[in-house]
Amino acid sequence: MNFLNILIKHICISIIASLFFVVSLSAQEQKIGVVNFQALVESSPQFRLVMESLAGEFQPRQREAIAKSKELEELAAKLQKDAAVMGASERANAEKEFRELQREVNRLGTELEEDVNLRRNEELGKLQRSILDAVNVFAQSNEYDMIFADGVIYASENVNITGLILESLQNDPQDVAN
């Protein structure tokens, strides 16, 4: 997102917030809250469960990639040590084997990284939707008129309800993670 889009977004949010506050001055008192959504997600027990689950899911492939890397290191050391005493064809074969193993290590690493990123994004998307639902349930059950998140430049602790929602998430970490 470029600077102009960010500026326009903040101006729009400021205008909406200003209009809301002007209207609320003439109406009954409003109950408003502010949530630091990113901090809420990252501090939630559900986030830890998702990260642990992903680590377990990819641990066998990480072990395989580490083993192949060690194999590559050992082959490189052997090549370096024995290169002077190898015949030309033996050295060529060893170098070919090294290059093939190096390509395999690179491929495994790239595939693992892409798969981890894809799964992390999938799981974090689900988690964010679930936590957004939890914020909505919290706001409705506590009779909030409006909740602001991400885009608020300043909020006093009087309206910051991030800790309260985090507390409700900690009461049942399995509920939101599914």
- Angle of helix 162-171 relative to helix 45-82, nearest 10 degrees, comes to 80
Query: Which tens digit of pLDDT belongs to each residue from 68-119?
Result: 999 999 999 988 888 888 888 888 898 999 999 999 999 999 999 999 999 9
Q: What are phi and psi of 3, to 5 degrees?
A: -60, -40
pTM listed for this prediction: 0.68
Q: What is the mean pLDDT of each run of 10 residues along the chain (178 residues)?
A: 60 62 59 89 94 96 95 91 86 91 96 96 95 90 85 72 87 60
Q: Is 125 exposed, middle or buried (0-12, 13-18, 19+ CB in 10 A)?
A: exposed
Query: Residue 35 in 3-state DSSP?
Result: strand
Q: Which residues contact 57 (CB under 8 A, 6 or more apart)?
A: 119
**Per-residue pLDDT at 14:** 64
31-177 CATH: 3.30.910.20
Query: Residue 160 in 3-state DSSP?
Result: strand
